Structure 1
C-alpha cells in the first residue's frame, strides 16, 4: 500500500490516501461521499490522530452534528456509519487496535417521506400538459413525472438510455444497488417519454441542485406546499401503487428493493394518511 509518506499517527491522512488509492474500486458517488464525510470530520477536529478515535470522540462528534451543524438524526447516523467504515479500514491495517464502536448504538429513525397525493399529481400533470413551449420547467417536470410513474431514482433517470427501452418494458440495472429491474410501461408513463431524444440518453437531465430548484418553483406555481425534491417522485410511486392495491411484493420488485421490509415503510405512511383522513368523520356535527 502506498501510505509511507503519511505520518504514522495521522488518521485523516491515512483515510484520504486509502480513498485516493482505491478510487477506481468505488462508485463515483460513494467516493465523493466518503471524501465529503472525511472533510466533515476534519471540520470537527483537525489534525485528527488515530489515538483520538475513541468512544468519547464518537459521542462528541455526534453531539456536534446535532447541535452545531443542526443535522437531523438520520444524517448524523449516516456520518457515524461512514466513520465506522473508516475505523474498520484502519483496524484492518493495524492502526487501531480496539474497536471504539463496540458499545456505540447508531440510531436509525424513519425520516419524513414527502409524497404527492393523487390530486397534487394531477395538478402537475395538468401543468405539464398546458406547457406550450420547450423550456427548463417542462424538461424537468417531464422526467420528474416519468419517475413518479416508474419509481426511478435521479441517478437511474440520469443514466437512462434508449437501450433500456425494450418493447413495453423498461429494463434497467439500478445504479444504487446493481439490481436489475423490469418495469412495465403504462400508457401514462409513455406519455412523458420525449418524442425525439438527442443521442443515446432519453432525457436531458439537469444537475440535482437545478432540478430541485425548478421543482420547487413549479410546486409553488401550482399551489403545492410540500418540500418537493426529486426523490419525492419515488415516494409518490410507492405510496400511490400501494394505495391502488398493487401487492406489496410487486411494489418491492418494481422499486428494486432487496428486502420487502424497506417497502413496508410506505405501507405505514399510507395507513397514517388513511387514519388522518378518516378522523375527519369526528368533525361532523350530529
Structure 2
C-alpha cells in the first residue's frame, strides 16, 4: 500500500478575509484527493517547522486540537485498511472521513448509522433507537464494536431477554437482528473484519396473524350504520373498514388525501362500455413502492369528498394507540372475539386473506399490497373456517 497523509495550506483557495483554506491531502499511488477540514489561516499564522498555529494567533489552541484530531482520525482509517489487509480507496476513505464511521463505540456507531442513513423510514429510526435504549439497560456505559461482536455477549444478552424481560422469540429476533445490521455496516467500512452472526442462526416463528372474515366485516358494516357508536368511534371504524377494503397500512391511511384518489376510465368487457372508476395511487410510506388500488363500492361509500380540496385528509385518524383502544371496544359491541386481539394492522391482514379466499390471483394481491415478491404475500394464504365447514359437510353427505 502506498498511501500518505499531509495537511496543506491551499493558496489557490483564498477567502474574502485573505486567508487560505487548510485541507487534508490523501495520496494513493501518486494520485491525490483533498478534503476540507473547516479551518483557514494566513501563511504567517503557522509555525515553519510543523503544521501548527502560532500561540499568538487567536483560537490557536482550539485550531491546533482540530488539526491533531484530523490527522489521528485519518491515520486510524488508513490503519484499518492495513489491519484488514485491504487496499485503500478514495471512495471508502471519503465515506469514513466525512462521517463518524471510525468510532469504535457501538452506541456511537449505531446512532451515526441511524442519523445519516436517509433510506430509513421514521418507523425504522424509532425502532432502532428503542433497540439502543433496550441494550443500554442491559449494558450501562460504552461498549466497543469488538466487545459486542462476541458469541458470549450475544448469548448472555439473549438469556437476559428470555429470563429477565420474558421476551418472546420474535422480539428477541428483532433485537439481535438490529445488532447484526450494525455489525454488517461496520464490516462494510472495515471497522470489524467479520460478524459473530456468521456463526449464529437467528430464530423467528410465524406469528398468528388475526384477520376478519367476510361475515365479520359485514357485521362491522351493520354496526357502523347503527346508533350504538359515538361519532368518534364511527370515524375509527370507517378508516379501519377502508383498510379492510384496500389493504393500506395505518400510516398510509393517516396520510391519505383526496388528491391520492383519481378517476380512471375502466372498460367493461361485458357491456362494452367505458365507465369512470375510482383508484388510489400513492407511494407507500414503509416501502416507498408506488401502488394502484381500485376502490370497490364498499370503500367508496366510506369517503365523503364533497367540496374537498386535494390536499385535505380523507379521514381524521387518531394515534395508533388510541385507534387500537377504540377498536377493542368496537369489537366487543360487534361481538367479534379473536385469541390474539384485534389491532389496526388486522385490517391489512383481512384484505389480503379475503382477496386470496375470493380466488384473486396471488401476483395481483401482491401488487395491491405493495410487496416486491409473491412469497411475502403467501403468509396470508389461510383456509377460512367457513370453507372448512363446507368441506367437512361433504363427509356427512357421503
**Is residue 34–residue 82 contact of structure 1 (8 Å, CA) maintained in 2?**
yes
The one-character-per-residue Cα deviations of 1:189-223 (angstroms, maximum 9, x if unpaired) are: 10111345586211111110000110001111211
The one-character-per-residue Cα deviations of 1:169-191 (angstroms, maximum 9, x if unpaired) are: 11111111111111111111101
Q: 1:28 aligns with which of 122, 128, 147?
A: 122
Q: 2:196 aligns with which of 78, 82, 100?
A: 100
Flag the structure with higher strand content: 2
**Is residue 145–residue 183 contact of structure 2 (8 Å, CA) maintained in 1?**
no
Aligned to 1:185: 295
Q: 2:380 aligns with which of 258, 263, 266?
A: 266
Give 5+ residue unaligned stretches, structure 1: none
**Is residue 293–residue 368 contact of structure 2 (8 Å, CA) maintained in 1?**
yes
Aligned equivalents of 1:88, 1:277: Cα separation in 2: 50
**Is residue 180–residue 195 contact of structure 2 (8 Å, CA) maintained in 1?**
no
Q: Using a 3 Å threshold, how does the CA distance of structure 1 residues 210 and 128 change in structure 2: closer, same or farther?
A: same
Q: Secondary structure at the match of 1:116?
A: coil
Aligned to 1:169: 279
Aligned equivalents of 1:19, 1:179: Cα separation in 2: 21
Aligned to 2:134: 40
CA RMSD in angstroms, aligned pairs only: 2.7
Aligned equivalents of 1:165, 1:225: Cα separation in 2: 33
Q: Secondary structure at the match of 1:242?
A: helix
Q: Using a 3 Å threshold, how does the CA distance of structure 1 residues 170 and 114 change in structure 2: closer, same or farther?
A: same
Residue 272 of structure 1: CA displacement? 7.7
**Is residue 242–residue 270 contact of structure 1 (8 Å, CA) maintained in 2?**
no
Aligned to 2:313: 201
Aligned to 1:216: 328
**Is residue 23–residue 31 contact of structure 1 (8 Å, CA) maintained in 2?**
no
Aligned equivalents of 2:251, 2:285: Cα separation in 1: 6
Residue 149 of structure 1: CA displacement? 0.4
Matched, 1:66 2:162: yes
Flag the structure with more relative contact order, 1 or 2, with Cα contacts below 8 A and sequence separation at least 6: 1
Q: 1:124 aligns with which of 185, 203, 220?
A: 220
Q: Secondary structure at the match of 2:285?
A: coil
Flag the structure with higher helix content: 1
Aligned equivalents of 1:259, 1:165: Cα separation in 2: 25
Q: TM-score, normalised by structure 1?
A: 0.88
**Is residue 165–residue 171 contact of structure 1 (8 Å, CA) maintained in 2?**
yes
- Quick check: 63-72 or 256-265, which moved more? 63-72
Alignment size in residue pairs: 281
Residue 76 of structure 1: CA displacement? 1.6
Aligned to 1:253: 367
Report the structure number with the largest CA radius of gyration: 2
The one-character-per-residue Cα deviations of 1:56-77 (angstroms, maximum 9, x if unpaired) are: 2222222322333222222221
Q: 2:241 aligns with which of 127, 132, 145?
A: 145
Matched, 1:239 2:353: yes
Give 5+ residue unaligned stretches, structure 2: 1-97, 264-277
Q: Secondary structure at the match of 1:182?
A: strand
Q: TM-score, normalised by structure 2?
A: 0.64
